[in-house]
Structure 1
Amino acid sequence: MFGWRRRSEGFEWKEYVRTTILVRRADRQRRIEDARLAAIGKVKDAADAGVDAGRAGVSAAKAGIMRGLSFLGRVIADFAVTIFWGVVRWGRFGWSILKDAAAALLAPIANALRVPAGAVSDKLRMMPDVAQKFPVKAHHLITAGIVLALIYVGGPMLRTADGVGTISVADAMPEANSEAHQVTISNEISGPAAALTGDTMRVDGTLIRLAGIEAPASEQPCYRATGRRWNCASAARAGLNSIVRGRVVTCSPSGQAEDGRTVANCVVDSSKDVATELVRNGFVFATASSFFSSLSGEESSARDAKRGIWQGEVQRPQEWRDQAWEAAKREAPDGCPIKGVVRASSKIYALPWSGAYAKARVRPERGERWFCSEDDAKAAGFAPLDKS
């Protein structure tokens, strides 16, 4: 009796504790990364709002300048019309004087001594009255001269380098141009990289999703040959990080995913394909679109060698999501398994395969509700909790 010792009877406590610590550490790292990505998203939204406000300000300034120039144009046109008709009236007056004088000089010689000189003197006496009735005054001419001088001096200031008298929004906001250049997916992206998930990384500040592969979902279970569960999603992220850490990664974008991330084929050291290395070592799955490429052969080799995810029982991420969806539908009200909740005045929704799904509680009195599809949730103003 005194020699009895408590035995584990086959239960591996050290392995259990170690696995628990690793799982919690990976979960904590994932939550920190999600918070960081959310903060970056908010900063980008604020930057976009600032750019839009700048565009609106420049447009308003441009409209104001155009209205001012239009007003000045109308004023100048009015002055020009007034001056024109003034010149016409003075010309008619002078022509009448010349005509009367010529008629008097060319009268018959017999009447030369009786030239009606009074006609000329009458016209001359009318000049003060005409001058008083003339609409153009001295201050009008002075004002017109000042306006013309301002246009002459300020005109070059409103002209751009190409000679067009408009303000370029692109020149006024270089930050907007640089951002637009960064989101262009036609150029290569190269630089240091950091893994976020098994198939997503940040390369030189750009979020890249590797083409042709899919990593295990963050909450997806994987099992070893012994039947023991292990965190294959965390292992895939570590595998991607080991491939790209300390190396220059070059990516050739080929499109854009639904979550807005750039889809690309990436290589390290100018030759080693990142996706191929991940599939070859059993970290990720080859997608259906890559079954006719070399990735399909690499996946078959990894499965035969029981490397990584293929060492035991595993499902493809979409199959696992479909099963989680159907299981949640059976328990959800009206078969609508998406939970729409409110957190700190933010409306978010959790999908059945999300890590926070089990803890989320739908409280209708707070405006929370169930949704049958993501489109319904987005239409109601709810945003996705994560992009898994």
Structure 2
Amino acid sequence: MLCTAIIGVPAQAAGKRITGTIQVIDGDTFDVGGTRVRLFGIDAPEGDQTCTDARGDELRCGSFVTTQVRDAYRGKQAVCKQVDTDRYGRSVARCVVGNVDVGQSLVASGLAFAFAEYSRDYIAVEKAAIRAGRGIHAYTMVRPSAFRAQKRAAQTAAVKTPAQAGQNGCTIKGNISAKGVRIFHVAGQRDYQRTSIRTDKGERWFCSASEARAAGWRAARR
């Protein structure tokens, strides 16, 4: 679902018709008749993106969205009109299935966000989904674009600040709060730099988020 600046394409490519059977790659990316298509105007959660419920429990909302989209559209016939091409060579397109705009349907169902940076077509639809608490809007989740930016910042910080690592070379900080809550912080998050690790109190370093979760830590929300 990674989406960056869209680049221009020749006039004959814009408006190109793409048709065929859908294979779902993730929440906003399909293969349509063998052509990789990034749905225009929407941004679905990344596959490894999480959200939290009202109790603060972490859920795998990105994986959930991909599964829901796959169940809804896999094997269906789509008709798409190319708008542009992104830097990865994917056709950025509007697609319809059975005369229904797929992008609009996903945003209305709470399975994707309106990608206002590129289009304002689905902003009102998203607002209605938020008010109704549909899909991912029933949970707390950062927008996918912000999630990707956090990951890039964390990767950059990890490269620039090698001193911020435990003896095992890992950079994720497993902190225990005053209330005993186990929280892990990745480089680039708000409290990462000021969080110190006290191994004598049971705090520790992790090499991956999955490792931290498996050990009983949850992700910091900021």
Fold agreement, TM-score > 0.5: yes
Matched letter for residue 76 of structure 2: R
1:185 CA drift (Å): 5.4
Query: After superposition, where does 1:241-252 map in structure 2 within 5 Å?
Result: 241-252=70-81
Matched letter for residue 312 of structure 1: Y
Equivalent of residue 254 in structure 1, options 83, 92, 106: 83
Question: Which secondary structure state, in structure 1, belongs to the residue aligned with residue 66 of structure 2?
Answer: helix
The reply on whether 1:190 has 2:19 as its aligned counterpart is: yes
1:212 CA drift (Å): 0.2
Matched letter for residue 255 of structure 1: D
Residue 41 of structure 2 is matched in structure 1 by 212
Contact 2:49 2:63 survives alignment (8 Å): no
The reply on whether 1:234 has 2:35 as its aligned counterpart is: no
1:215 CA drift (Å): 1.2
Equivalent of residue 160 in structure 2, options 319, 325, 333: 333
Question: Alpha carbons of 1:276 and 1:334: their partners in 2 closer, same or farther (altered >3 Å)?
Answer: same
Total equivalences in the alignment: 155
Task: Work out the CA distance in 2 between the residues paired with 1:203 and 1:263.
Answer: 12
1:334 CA drift (Å): 5.3
Residue 264 of structure 1 is matched in structure 2 by 93
Task: Work out the CA distance in 2 between the residues paired with 1:310 and 1:186.
Answer: 33
Task: Work out the CA distance in 2 between the residues paired with 1:290 and 1:297.
Answer: 15
Task: Work out the CA distance in 1 between the residues paired with 2:109 and 2:35.
Answer: 25
Question: Which secondary structure state, in structure 1, belongs to the residue aligned with residue 137 of structure 2?
Answer: helix
Residue 288 of structure 1 is matched in structure 2 by 116
Task: Work out the CA distance in 2 between the residues paired with 1:334 and 1:266.
Answer: 44
Equivalent of residue 103 in structure 2, options 269, 275, 282: 275
Contact 1:217 1:317 survives alignment (8 Å): yes
Residue 303 of structure 1 is matched in structure 2 by 130
Contact 2:13 2:84 survives alignment (8 Å): no
Question: Alpha carbons of 1:227 and 1:205: their partners in 2 closer, same or farther (altered >3 Å)?
Answer: same
Task: Work out the CA distance in 1 between the residues paired with 2:50 and 2:105.
Answer: 22
Matched letter for residue 286 of structure 1: A
The reply on whether 1:317 has 2:144 as its aligned counterpart is: yes
Structure having greater relative contact order (Cα 8 Å, sep ≥ 6):
2
Question: Which secondary structure state, in structure 1, belongs to the residue aligned with residue 124 of structure 2?
Answer: helix
- What is the aligned-residue RMSD (CA, Å)? 2.5
Identity of aligned residues (%): 32
Residue 165 of structure 1 is matched in structure 2 by none
Question: Alpha carbons of 1:331 and 1:207: their partners in 2 closer, same or farther (altered >3 Å)?
Answer: closer
Query: After superposition, where does 1:7-156 map in structure 2 within 5 Å?
Result: none
Task: Work out the CA distance in 1 between the residues paired with 2:126 and 2:143.
Answer: 12
Question: Alpha carbons of 1:331 and 1:300: their partners in 2 closer, same or farther (altered >3 Å)?
Answer: same
1:305 CA drift (Å): 1.1
Matched letter for residue 101 of structure 2: D
* CA radius of gyration, larger in: 1
Query: After superposition, where does 1:153-172 map in structure 2 within 5 Å?
Result: none
1:230 CA drift (Å): 1.6
TM-score (norm 1): 0.37
Task: Work out the CA distance in 1 between the residues paired with 2:13 and 2:152.
Answer: 35
Question: Which secondary structure state, in structure 2, belongs to the residue aligned with residue 289 of structure 1?
Answer: coil
Matched letter for residue 126 of structure 2: E
Structure ranking higher in helix proportion: 1
Unaligned residue ranges in structure 1 (runs of 5+):
1-182, 336-351, 360-388
Task: Work out the CA distance in 2 between the residues paired with 1:260 and 1:246.
Answer: 23
Question: Which secondary structure state, in structure 2, belongs to the residue aligned with residue 265 of structure 1?
Answer: strand
Structure ranking higher in strand proportion: 2
Unaligned residue ranges in structure 2 (runs of 5+):
1-11, 163-186, 189-206, 209-222
Question: Alpha carbons of 1:219 and 1:246: their partners in 2 closer, same or farther (altered >3 Å)?
Answer: closer
Task: Work out the CA distance in 2 between the residues paired with 1:215 and 1:288.
Answer: 13
Task: Work out the CA distance in 1 between the residues paired with 2:13 and 2:141.
Answer: 37
